[in-house]
Amino acid sequence: MKASLPIILWLIQACDVPVIRPEAVGLGDLSDAACPRGLAIAATDYKSTNIGAIDLSGNVLSPSLISSASHSVGLTSALSGDVGFPSTRASGNELVVLDRSLASVITWVNIETATVRAQLSVATGFNANPHDYVSIAPNKAYVTRFGSNSNAGREPYDEGHDILVLDPSIPAIKGRIDAASGLPPYAGYNPSPDCARLAGDRLYVVVPYYDSAYHAGPSYVIAIDPATDAPVDQILLAGLSGCSGLDISPDQTSIAIACSGRWQGSSSADASASALVGLRIRPQMEEIWRIPASRSTKRAFGFALGFVDSTHVIASQLGEFGPPLINDTVYLIDTNTSASTPVLQSANVPFTLSVGPCDADCGVCFLVDTQRVGIFEFTLSQSNSFSLTEYPWNDPTGLPPRLLGFF
């Protein structure tokens, strides 16, 4: 399930994998452009991690920017096997790596030179489990902390279930926003802030509730004003649980949420509480469409989704280990009609397809297939026909690719 499990930190076996700096292969200026320059790839077996990079045509820019075996200047905490990237494209020339679960460390990596500028622990005395990072300004960023602290009060900012305010230029923690502020209490459950995106002058954060055994409760979306760091809007995603993924429409007027259902501590969720939901975000959040998992295969939706254009999203429905075994399936979904078109199935191993990131303005969306050890570029034509282009990822450590992030 989405919640990170305890991870034992092992070093990558291929400790002598050379670091290749993207500047050496002609990546050039990494200042912000209309479209992403490339993809960072996290290859991991959940014990150790290697991060490489390709351009949007699949050309390898670096087989290893940083790994669990790295000993570069500025790296004081080795990467674990449970890492992620921000849901928002990296700005400037820095890639942010979120080391989750036990580590709870943020790492800033210069993409051109493959060097670590800084690291910051956001653990503050507990398993904070950072899930997303949003840059606001050179001296301000937000980090969502999925974890909660049952023994808070021992050091600053140690409550958890919050959105931390960082100054990445130092780096340092400057404050926290309580995700539960203004939300009703649910006995035995804590808010667990997950995906966050900036749309206009507001930050939108998906806030599912979980108990200590990761049983899923209700889910909300909250809006925060970055000028005051105060919550200014909220909405209950009625009847839904396990909500996590979030993307912004191309015109910035709505957001889409992926809800995976009611997890009860097992590898499958109750799909009756699973759906994709669209929210109009101004003047206040309001639901404008909903596509329940029961309308297609009655399998729970996955943890992420992306806008392909203004009326189409791409999302997965999760498989099942069985018996009988059921594959993951990625669908192209029309938000106006709820019509779904199969795009890709897993290769007889469920929980091996990942959706995103997507950039609707540039007409690209990417999928990761861990079992096939490949990355797929998805494009949609004006006639609504799609194409998939596969880019094999031959990781020098032999680890399978699992997650992608734009830079």
Structural domain includes residue 175: no
Range of the domain at 356: 253-372
Query: How distant is the alpha carbon of residue 87 from its chain centre?
Result: 5
Main-chain phi, psi angles of 270, to 5 degrees: -75, 105
Q: What is the pLDDT along the chain (407 residues), one digit of tens a residue?
A: 443 322 222 233 334 455 556 665 555 555 557 899 999 999 999 999 999 999 999 999 999 999 998 756 556 778 999 999 999 998 888 999 999 978 899 999 999 888 999 999 999 999 999 999 999 999 999 999 999 999 999 999 999 999 999 999 999 999 999 999 999 999 999 999 999 999 999 999 999 999 988 899 999 999 999 999 999 999 999 999 999 999 999 999 999 999 999 988 677 788 999 999 999 999 999 999 999 998 767 899 999 999 999 999 999 999 999 899 999 999 999 999 999 999 999 999 999 999 999 999 999 999 999 999 999 999 999 888 999 999 999 999 999 999 999 99
Structural domain includes residue 307: yes
- What letter would DSSP give residue 294? G
Considering its fold, how many domains does the chain have in total?
1
Structural domain includes residue 87: no
With beta carbons less than 8 A apart as the criterion, state whether 49 and 65 touch. Answer: no
Alpha-carbon span 87 to 313, nearest angstrom: 16
User: How does pLDDT run across 90-144, given as a tens digit for each residue?
Assistant: 888 899 999 997 889 999 999 988 899 999 999 999 999 999 999 999 999 999 9
Structural domain includes residue 352: yes
User: Under DSSP, is residue 345 helix (H, G, I), strand (E, B) or coil?
Assistant: strand
Structural domain includes residue 88: no
What length is written for the chain? 407
β-pairing verdict for 312-317 and 301-309: antiparallel
Structural domain includes residue 394: no
Closest by Cα among 170, 169, 172, 76 to 124: 172
Is the pTM of the predicted complex or chain greater than 0.85? Answer: yes
Alpha-carbon span 321 to 331, nearest angstrom: 20
Closest by Cα among 82, 172, 92 to 135: 92
User: Under DSSP, is residue 117 helix (H, G, I), strand (E, B) or coil?
Assistant: strand
Written as six digits, the tokens of 276 are 């994709």
Mention every residue, 6+ apart, whose C-beta is less than 8 A from residue 110.
93, 94, 95, 116, 117
b/e burial code for range 156-172 (CB count within 10 A of at least 16 → b): ebbbbbbbbbbbbeebe
* pLDDT given at position 14: 36
Written as six digits, the tokens of 256 are 């889409």
- What letter would DSSP give residue 25? G
Structural domain includes residue 246: no
Mention every residue, 6+ apart, whose C-beta is less than 8 A from residue 382.
none
The helix (H) or strand (E) run that includes residue 55 is strand 49-55
Structural domain includes residue 226: no
